[in-house]
Structure 1
């Protein structure tokens, strides 16, 4: 599984290169703040909503600490998606939130 640190993702966001971020936290967690432009698909729904994703794109998976996004990354990888897990999750994120 490919990984990036929160700082590396923050640089990509600032450069406009991290357009496809999926936040797998629950809706109430996301309401407290998410990476600008991130799409919320709670972990329990990833399997049922993967048809909404494009296998030609690369997705950065995010959660609170990196565990749930790691599970989502493994699931999506097993289905042929190109994904990167953000290590440390939102606990490590120092960039802007919306």
Structure 2
């Protein structure tokens, strides 16, 4: 499983990149604060929303601490997607939050 740190994601955004971030937390968790520009797909709905994603695009998966995003990364890798797990999740995020 590929991994990326929250700091690496933040630096990419600060350099003008717009990574495809999928937040797999629940609705109430995302409402308390999320990285701007995320795609919100709760982990329980990921299998049903996979057709909405583009296999030609890389994705970074985000959750609260990194455990659920790890599961989501494994699911999407198994379906042929280029995905990375943001280790530490939102607990490690120091960048802008909406």
Settle same-fold status: TM greater than 0.5.
yes
Residue pair 1:9, 1:18 contacting (<8 A) in 2 also: no
Partner of 1:92: 92
Look up the SS of the partner of 1:34 in the other structure.
coil
* Stretches (4+) displaced over 4 A: none
TM-score, with structure 2 as normaliser: 0.97
Look up the SS of the partner of 1:54 in the other structure.
coil
Q: In structure 1, list runs of 5 or more residues that go unmatched.
A: none
Are the structure 2 counterparts of residues 4 and 72 from structure 1 closer, same or farther at C-alpha, using a change threshold of 3 Å?
same
Q: Deviations over 1:34-78 (max 9, x none)?
A: 001011100000000000000000000000000000000000000
Look up the SS of the partner of 1:45 in the other structure.
helix
Partner of 1:20: 20
Partner of 1:42: 42
Distance in 2 between the 1:22 and 1:75 partners? 13
**Is 1:78 the equivalent of 2:44?**
no
Partner of 2:67: 67
Q: In structure 2, list runs of 5 or more residues that go unmatched.
A: none
Look up the SS of the partner of 1:59 in the other structure.
strand
Distance in 1 between the 2:41 and 2:75 partners? 13
By how many angstroms is 1:17 displaced? 1.9
TM-score, with structure 1 as normaliser: 0.97
